[in-house]
A and B are shown apart, each in its own frame.
Chain A
Amino acid sequence: MSTQPQNETKVTLPDDRTVVIEREFEAPRELVWECFSDPGLLKEWLGPRYLTMAIEEYDFRPGGKWKYIHSDDSNNYVFFGEFLELNQPEYMKQTFCFVMEPAIPPSIDELELIELKGGRTLLKTTSTFESKDLRDGMIQNGMEIGVREGNERLDELLARRQG
């Protein structure tokens, strides 16, 4: 196990329809890329900790489709999309959507891996949504799933609101 402090995850909203996530990794980008391109490795880290993750389809080439399902005892969360551009090991562009009623338009996700000194990598993802409402909704939906991890901070906030 690595003993160094964890690298910081930064989230920014540069405009109304976009979310940018940035994070540095202590590895060359070929290795980080592998963790995205190999579904066996992706499965190990992408799903929320308390959900099981099943990858149904992961055709990692331009025009290839992907689909995975997060499940718990009572619910399935189905995510799907298509790889639009792949430029190993630095750039990937895909559509990202999840199954819900009524159906929503997909976002466009871009992954950039930028080489840093000392064999390190900056990962940057840019998600662009069709509208501001969809962007904000996604931030909250991610949150609603997170709530089930027994989130104490939400309880605190609720208590404060009621108080």
Chain B
Amino acid sequence: MVQYSTTLDRTFSALSDPTRRTILNRLVTGSATISELAEPTGMSLTGLKKHVAVLEEAHLLKTEKRGRTRHCFLEEKGFDEAEFWLEEFRRSWADRFERLDEVIERKKQEGKR
């Protein structure tokens, strides 16, 4: 459980930054080099590398060196975990609301009598 929490914290905090979300959105369409990622953000290569490192730590992104350039890809592992916790949270509420539907239905029937 402890291991999980640490991973989740890292994932959420990695996803909380708009620049990092822009990077991930770009990678949905395919891999890119660091300079390709830097271009639309107007950021320095050094600044962008820091964001890439945070995403890599959170297992949201993978990098691979090809010759002299570093290519970035999405990594599914990190996404799976963040989504997992949120989905569990959502389901617990969906379950409550299903019971609320039942209460409402009963009250409606009582009102008709």
Whether A133 lies near B9 (C-beta < 8 A) is: yes
Tell me if B's interface is mostly helix, strand, loop or mixed.
helix
Asked if B103 lies at the interface with its beta carbon under 8 angstroms from chain A, I say: yes
Query: In which size bucket is the chain B interface?
Result: 20 to 34
Given the complex, which residues of A lie within 8 Å of B98, measured CB to CB?
6
Whether B90 lies near A11 (C-beta < 8 A) is: yes
Given the complex, which residues of B lie within 8 Å of A151, measured CB to CB?
88
- A112 CB to closest chain B CB (Å) equals 15
Segment 55-113 of B: residues with Cβ below 8 Å from A? 80-81, 84-86, 88-105, 107-108
Interface size on A, residues (CB 8 A): 41
Asked if A2 lies at the interface with its beta carbon under 8 angstroms from chain B, I say: yes
Whether A35 lies near B88 (C-beta < 8 A) is: no
Whether B100 lies near A143 (C-beta < 8 A) is: no
Contact partner of A35 (CB less than 8 A), chosen from B8, B9, B86, B104, is B104
- In Å, the complex CA distance between A144 and B85 comes to 10
Asked if A77 lies at the interface with its beta carbon under 8 angstroms from chain B, I say: no
Interfacial residues, chain B to chain A (CB-CB below 8 A): 1, 4-5, 8-9, 12-13, 16, 80-81, 84-86, 88-105, 107-108
Sample of 30 A–B contacts (CB below 8 Å): A1-B102, A2-B105, A6-B98, A9-B93, A9-B94, A11-B89, A21-B90, A23-B97, A25-B100, A26-B101, A34-B107, A35-B100, A35-B107, A45-B97, A45-B102, A45-B103, A46-B96, A48-B92, A48-B96, A123-B97, A132-B16, A136-B8, A136-B9, A139-B86, A139-B89, A140-B85, A142-B89, A143-B85, A144-B1, A146-B91
